[in-house]
């Protein structure tokens, strides 16, 4: 179990604060800027950072994150590079948890036993593999448990009650509720539909619940946070970052994106 993730949610809970989780694709728009952007996100009020690992065939992602992945791959960003970025980030930030989000094949190629070890040494706290449901984790799952790398699990509107129970039994860190049927950045989110499924998760799990997919602005974040412990914002931020011309500009885009959401979340009352 990751202490950093547990502490992050514990502290937020004590302070009555909603956990804000921005997602960026590692290495996009430029690998040299990612660590600076991570610091900017944390500085502007992000509590936990989700770092997307680029993959050539991101089946669960919409066009915005697909393109970000393609750009990062063109700039030779690999899973190894991503670990280097986290290591660098950890030199000056030892508190903000980092969760890697990606697909199975790059991890498998790195080595299902080797990867969790290297990841925790670099300072990664959790791993969310979109195309690897808990029952397929096998040796990877064992290796993750051994070193305390949290396996973040998804629950979606189509997940049956029975399965929520199974997932709750193996999840750690937090549970990520996918707020809509669809890919990242898609569709219209109706936050009133969140109440029941999140209640169902809480029936089976003590873990905090984060909600993501389709949350585009501060207003939506506030509506979602009324039901959850945390909100994840990805595509809208990745899109905003994509036009940045240099590291400084990317950092100010990141700050300008996160700060108002932070403020709105803190003023929810």
Partner 1 sequence: MTENQPGLPDKRGHFGEFGGQFVSETLMHALDELQQAYGHWRKDEEFVQRMDEDLANYVGRPSPIYYAQRYSEAAAGAKIYLKREDLNHTGAHKINNTMGQGLLARYMGKKRVIAETGAGQHGVATATVAARLNQSCRVYMGDVDIQRQAINVFRMRLLGAEVTGVSAGSATLKDALNEAMRDWVGNVDDTFYIIGTVAGPHPYPEMVRDFNAVVGREARRQMLKLCDSLPDALVACVGGGSNAMGLFHPFLEDKNVKMFGVEAAGHGLESGQHAASLCAGRPGVLHGCRTYLLDDDAGQIRHTHSISAGLDYPGVGPEHAWLKETGRADYVAVTDEEALRAFHQLTRLEGIMPALESSHALAYGFKLAAGMRPDQRVLINLSGRGDKDVQTVAEIEGLSL
User: If you write DSSP's letter for every residue of 178-209 in order, what string do you get?
Assistant: E-SSSSTT-S---GGGGHHHHHHHHHH--S-E
Peptide bond into 156 cis (omega under 30): no
- 187 forms part of the interface with partner 1 (CB under 8 A): yes
How many secondary structure helices (H) and strands (E) does the chain include?
12, 9
What end-to-end distance do the CA atoms of the chain give, in Å?
Answer: 31
The pair of structure tokens assigned to 129 is 């593999």
Query: In the bound complex, what is the minimum distance in angstroms from residue 248's beta carbon to partner 1?
Result: 29
Binding track, positions 205-234, relative to partner 1; x by CB under 8 A: ------------------------------
User: If you write DSSP's letter for every residue of 121-135 in order, what string do you get?
Assistant: HHT--EEEETT--GG
Query: In the bound complex, what is the minimum distance in angstroms from residue 50's beta carbon to partner 1?
Result: 16
Binding track, positions 134-173, relative to partner 1; x by CB under 8 A: -xx----------------xxxxxxxx--x----------
Nearer to partner 1, 168 or 218 (CB): 168
d(CA 198, CA 176): 10
Please identify every residue annotated as catalytic: 50, 61
Binding track, positions 49-68, relative to partner 1; x by CB under 8 A: -----xxxxxxxxxx--x--
Q: Which residues bind partner 1 (CB under 8 A)?
A: 54-63, 66, 70, 73, 78-80, 103-110, 130-133, 135-136, 153-160, 163, 178, 181-183, 186-187
């Amino acid at each position: 179990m990751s202490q950093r993730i547990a502490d992050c949610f514990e502290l937020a809970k004590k302070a009555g604060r909603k956990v804000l989780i921005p997602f960026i694709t590692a290495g996009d728009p430029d690998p040299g800027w990612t660590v600076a952007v991570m610091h900017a996100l944390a500085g502007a009020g992000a509590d936990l950072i989700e770092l997307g690992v680029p993959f050539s065939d991101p089946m669960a992602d919409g066009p915005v994150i697909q393109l970000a992945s393609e750009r990062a791959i063109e700039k030779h960003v690999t899973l190894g590079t991503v670990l280097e970025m986290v290591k660098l980030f950890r030199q000056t930030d030892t508190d903000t948890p980092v969760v890697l989000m990606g697909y199975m094949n790059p991890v498998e190629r790195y080595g299902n036993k080797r990867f969790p070890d290297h990841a925790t040494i670099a300072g990664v706290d959790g791993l969310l593999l979109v195309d690897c449901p808990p029952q397929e984790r096998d040796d990877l799952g064992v290796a993750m448990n051994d070193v305390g790398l949290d396996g973040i699990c998804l629950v979606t509107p189509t997940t049956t009650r029975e399965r929520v129970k199974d997932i709750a039994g193996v999840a750690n860190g937090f549970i990520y509720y996918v707020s809509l049927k669809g890919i990242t950045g898609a569709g219209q989110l109706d936050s009133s539909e969140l109440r029941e499924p999140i209640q169902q998760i809480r029936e089976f799990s003590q873990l905090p619940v984060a909600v993501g997919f389709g949350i585009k602005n501060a207003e939506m974040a506030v509506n979602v946070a009324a039901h959850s412990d945390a909100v994840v914002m990805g595509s809208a931020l990745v899109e905003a970052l994509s036009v940045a011309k240099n590291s400084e500009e990317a950092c100010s885009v990141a700050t300008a994106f996160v700060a108002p959401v932070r403020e709105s979340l803190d003023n929810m009352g």
